[in-house]
Amino acid sequence: MTVHHPLVLAAVHSPASWKPRPQHVMWLALAFLPLLPVHARTPPPRIELDRAERAVQRAREAGAASDADAELRAAMAYLEASRVAREDRKRKDEIALAARAELEAELATAVTRAAQARRAVQEKVDANAGLRRDLLGENAR
């Protein structure tokens, strides 16, 4: 009786009848083992954190430091907490805190624009009142 090597017999058998043996699984696992540290060291993308940082920057540029200071400080605090969560590899916390920072920054921007619009309206009201006085005389309302 002739004894053939298992790999020679494996080529003869159909793929449907082939069943993985524990040593096959072990060799496959060992083949992919070197790739695990590369994957583990690759940090997740900073998409949410970048969006929050841009929103805070837009709020600062809009002038939120003077008109919406509380909202801007809250956005910056959430942004910093998101950065800490990222360093601690707490991905869910990072995403949630970055989203909250983005919302607070957008609120600060909206409050700032509303305050700027109120000031612009008040300037127009004052200018109209001055024109009315000039046109109708000093005694007119």
Count of other CB atoms within 10 angstroms of residue 42? 8
- pLDDT number for residue 27: 74
Dist. CA 37–CA 43, nearest whole Å: 12
Position 51 confidence tier, pLDDT thresholds 50, 70, 90: very high
pLDDT at 113 over 60: yes
Count of other CB atoms within 10 angstroms of residue 60? 17
State mean pLDDT over 78-101: 95
Contacts of residue 64, Cβ cutoff 8 Å, sequence gap at least 6: 71, 72, 105, 108, 109, 111, 112
71 vs 32, residue with greater confidence: 71
- pLDDT number for residue 29: 72
- pLDDT number for residue 20: 65
Full set of structural domains in the chain with CATH:
47-136 (1.20.1270)
Between the CA of residue 46 and those of 7, 35, 53, 54, 60, what are the distances in Å? 47, 22, 10, 12, 21
Instruction: Quote the Cα angle for 35-36-40, to 5°.
Output: 125
Structural tokens at position 115: 């305050």
pLDDT at 67 over 70: yes
Dist. CA 61–CA 67, nearest whole Å: 12
Half-sphere exposure of 73 (CA within 13 A, CB side): 5
Dist. CA 95–CA 46, nearest whole Å: 9
Contacts of residue 96, Cβ cutoff 8 Å, sequence gap at least 6: none
